[in-house]
Amino acid sequence: MKKKGVRRFGLHTMVVSNELNPAAHVQTARMLFSLAAEISKKIGIEFEFVNLGGGIGIPYKPEQVPVNFESLGKEIKQAYKEIIEGNGMPSLNIYMENGRAMTGPFGYLVTTAIHEKHTYKEYIGVDACMANLMRPGMYGAYHHITVLGKEGAKSNHKYDVVGSLCENNDKFAIDRMLPEIKVGDVIAIHNAGAHGHAMGFNYNGKLRSAELLKKTDGSVEMIRRAETTQDYFSTLNFPGSKYGALAAK
């Protein structure tokens, strides 16, 4: 690249995902700092930045321990001192891309139980579906569930909590012990701030929900309205369409 005239350099990696062990992130930083030092020395280039990628995990299960950002920062700073400063390299920027850690724990998918089915298993059908949060359906990821108003009740019922798509993997929880759920109960699915609304989709013509922001003073504001049928068809563009771009003209 240098021979071809490139003058600005950075290093980027993404080696772990949803990793709660801070040692893995420190190791990534050490690996990239060392590589930057080695390449700088060998071919005489300066790195403007090292990008450590994302991958900091969040405690999806109540018993898991969150990553301590303070001590992680200190350890990465120590590695920087040893390797970058220790090799007499000019200072460089450190970037990270932690989407999940920054947003995940702060979003909830709030949904209502609208069906129950008691066959060989106990099913609770909710009005959300994997188009609102696809991790559980796509790869069986655990998202904690709270039945609002029943936080203190015993979790003595085993349910599959299922969405409303006609797909058999559209399940938010399988064999989950929860308090007894009645149709009309409101259910909060935790850690939906990442991979939720922003990565939602319109499978089966499902319309995206509204988004509500709870502020530090306890007040709630709607920061995104729910999609309408008009929104869904708004990109259609053929003569005679009732909804789309031509209809708007």
User: Side chain identity at 123, as an amino acid letter?
Assistant: Y
Tell me, by CB under 6 A, how many residues bind ligand PLP: 13
CA distance 161 to 139: 15
How does strand 211-214 pair with strand 122-126? Answer: unpaired
* Phi, psi values for residue 22, rounded to 5°: -60, -25
Cβ-based nearer residue to ligand PLP, 57 or 179: 57
State the minimum distance, in angstroms, from the CB of residue 22 to ligand PLP. Answer: 14
Q: Answer yes or no: are the C-beta atoms of 109 and 128 closer than 8 Å.
A: yes
Only one of the segments 13-21, 117-125, 140-148, 218-226 lies at the binding site for ligand PLP (rule: CB under 6 A); that segment is 13-21
Instruction: Tell whether residue 56 is a contact of ligand PLP (CB under 6 A).
Output: yes
CA distance 114 to 110: 13
59, 99, 105, 244: residue in contact with ligand PLP (rule CB under 6 A)? 99
CA distance 214 to 202: 25
Q: x/- contact string, 112-151, with ligand PLP (CB under 6 A)? A: ----------------------------------------
State the minimum distance, in angstroms, from the CB of residue 220 to ligand PLP. Answer: 26
DSSP 197: G
Catalytic (active site) residue 129: no
State the minimum distance, in angstroms, from the CB of residue 67 to ligand PLP. Answer: 11
Q: x/- contact string, 68-97, with ligand PLP (CB under 6 A)? A: -----------------------------x
Q: How far is CA 145 from the centre of its chain?
A: 16
Instruction: Tell whether residue 17 is a contact of ligand PLP (CB under 6 A).
Output: yes
**Neighbouring residues of 231: CB distance < 8 A, sequence distance ≥ 6:** 207
65 three-class SS: coil
Instruction: Tell whether residue 200 is a contact of ligand PLP (CB under 6 A).
Output: no
State the minimum distance, in angstroms, from the CB of residue 2 to ligand PLP. Answer: 24
CA distance 213 to 218: 10
Site residues for ligand PLP per CB under 6 A? 14, 17-18, 53-56, 97-101, 194
Give the catalytic positions in this structure.
Answer: 166
